[in-house]
Structure 1
């Protein structure tokens, strides 16, 4: 029988004081096992402090290529940034440019490498990689991230493959998403990740509920999870409305979900941890950041 193992991840560590504090509380007072670090944002140094103060919290790279601040100077990556020096927010247009422009792809690879290097400079071990707003679903960004992660010895990646039947059983009012396209493409990326010796959880929970993973939804979905490795991902923060926050996200409710005593009871006896631990990365294969 394939035992159930869970990864409970928070995105946006390093974004702002509210996210850093929320993530630390979700780990210390709740059930959070992993977090994904943004290395170019204003709260980066404090996010690193949180990571170092909580060694049981597995930390990965939250690659940021939109709605954020680059690591490289804007002059070195003109295709990726706007006049304000921040990453472009027109994801579709930038995605098309990456498909058409060799120069833009070279800039992409340089920025991915720079973000991994900044992560490495923290001295933290990199547990996994993913991308802000799942921008690594773009084929060229996926290729750049997989190549860079494999080269750095990072063995794990998020692929947001979500079971719509599971989500609807937990909450029939959940948003209807184009799951057939999403999951088919994630299957393609899973095969490509395997070629780079990268592992991914069997499924995620949180794509349909992004920014609205409430205590009721978490309590409802936990008993429904099948065997294998499931990643549940969240955006906890002590409050919303901070610079860089997403309009409409229910940050405090997601923190409440992760610190809910009923959730802790539901997880009693269920193995949970970071990507490496739950995906069984052997110590001999662990040569990464």
Structure 2
């Protein structure tokens, strides 16, 4: 059997992204979401999931160490002069350090705060991943494993993806990022799996950032192997006002393009044609345990 998880990242980033993701959930084409714990619209997202999410979508935590304000206080290494995370490029450079005790201590503190926030809503959590894939970087992996084991979450994303064989025009930055994230995931995979944490057999989406289309979905589905695959998507609706930092990058038309590809009736036809079943992550842990206990 071929099973596909369509996981929408960045739920909670802003109301427009929430709107698009919820459209996909209601249409039955988004089967899983990852919630930003410090997003401006994260409360709105979790309130909706409390009311409507159970049974319709699997919910995970989108750990964030690169954009916005942290949830814990007293951080020095992870933040800049205004108290916000350092931004994508600077944060990923910092988190690439393998041996830095003070940095690892701050990472552990912040990840525990983010997990506590997620569990406080009473919404079962099935999986963990990272905003900009920070969770597989060297300074983060140990803390990721620790909190996942403490609260009983079994599924962790490994953003390890081969370059698509389908012909498509790749922006150099997107291709470079995909290679870097895959390399980090490959290096982290042994340790993550050694602790009994699980990942779908195949991951897709690094190379399709902002360019997802019915044609690309068809190319993916026709090559899908038996087993469980995760497709990472970033859907949303176009913002009507002025963008405000954080989370202002990769927004608007690109996100709407991804959403429209999923909502296109052709997607359902393809799923039936290639005998692919949409699903979420299995078995969410009920939030009864503290990650600090």
TM-score (normalizing by structure 2): 0.85
List per-residue Cα deviations over 1:178-200 (Å, max 9, x = no partner).
67775565344222122221100
CA contact (8 A) 1:88 1:94 kept: no
Note the C-alpha offset of 1:36.
Answer: 0.1
Computed over aligned residues only, the root mean square deviation of the Cα atoms, in angstroms, reads 2.3
> For structure 2, which runs of at least 5 residues remain unmatched after alignment?
289-293
- 2:272 pairs with 1:259: no
- 2:88 pairs with 1:82: no
Counterpart in 2 of 1:36? 34
In structure 2, C-alpha distance between the alignment counterparts of 1:45 and 1:117, rounded to whole Å: 14
Counterpart in 1 of 2:135? 136
Note the C-alpha offset of 1:156.
Answer: 0.2
List per-residue Cα deviations over 1:2-43 (Å, max 9, x = no partner).
x21111000000110011111100111241100000111110
CA contact (8 A) 1:10 1:32 kept: yes
> For structure 1, which runs of at least 5 residues remain unmatched after alignment?
none
CA contact (8 A) 1:30 1:260 kept: no
Q: Report matched runs for 1:37-56 at 5 Å.
A: 37-52=35-50, 53-55=52-54, 56=56
Counterpart in 2 of 1:146? 145
Secondary structure at the counterpart of residue 82 of structure 2: coil
Counterpart in 1 of 2:66? 66
Closer, same or farther: CA 242–23 of 1 in aligned 2, 3 Å? farther
Which of 161, 166, 169 aligns to 1:173? It is 169
In structure 2, C-alpha distance between the alignment counterparts of 1:202 and 1:158, rounded to whole Å: 10
In structure 2, C-alpha distance between the alignment counterparts of 1:215 and 1:59, rounded to whole Å: 25
In structure 1, C-alpha distance between the alignment counterparts of 2:57 and 2:205, rounded to whole Å: 19
In structure 1, C-alpha distance between the alignment counterparts of 2:45 and 2:236, rounded to whole Å: 13
Note the C-alpha offset of 1:202.
Answer: 1.3
In structure 2, C-alpha distance between the alignment counterparts of 1:181 and 1:29, rounded to whole Å: 34
Secondary structure at the counterpart of residue 12 of structure 1: strand
In structure 2, C-alpha distance between the alignment counterparts of 1:203 and 1:264, rounded to whole Å: 21
In structure 1, C-alpha distance between the alignment counterparts of 2:93 and 2:103, rounded to whole Å: 12
In structure 2, C-alpha distance between the alignment counterparts of 1:236 and 1:26, rounded to whole Å: 8
Counterpart in 2 of 1:221? 220
In structure 2, C-alpha distance between the alignment counterparts of 1:123 and 1:248, rounded to whole Å: 29
TM-score (normalizing by structure 1): 0.86
CA contact (8 A) 1:15 1:43 kept: yes
Which of 4, 7, 30 aligns to 1:6? It is 4
Secondary structure at the counterpart of residue 141 of structure 2: helix
